[in-house]
Structure 1
Amino acid sequence: MTDQDGPLSPLSDTPESSLCYFVDEAGDPTLFNRTGRFIVGEEGCSGYFLLGKLEIEDPEDLAGQLETLRSA
């Protein structure tokens, strides 16, 4: 079963949709040392950890623009 907007889900009569996203992180997600001791707030442990998500409609265009930016 198809529709002009795309394939129909077997669970509904509405077209399926796609979600495209890029995920990036900054900082160090390490919370424990190699012996399992909690090290947040101590020297050597990153003071920040950030996680970002960007929902996009045209992933190919964004990927091309990011590649151009990286090569500049």
Structure 2
Amino acid sequence: MLVTHQFHPLFGRQLPCVGKRSNLQGERLLLQTDDGAIWPLPLNGLILSALIQKLSRATGARSCWFRT
């Protein structure tokens, strides 16, 4: 997943998703950094890169800017 929230410390980094968590504040994906730390991020601060790659291949587009 690509972190797209411009004020987040992990902005611009591509990190693997290792799980998800839901609570009263909404759904969050758990992303793991290279040092093993787990960061819970809300979906509105992420671009779902796997979905974008699928959509790009399906439409033949070079880039696709969908944001959740």
TM class, shorter-length: under 0.3
Q: TM-score normalized by structure 2?
A: 0.24
**Structure with the greater alpha carbon radius of gyration:** 1
Greater strand percent: which structure?
2
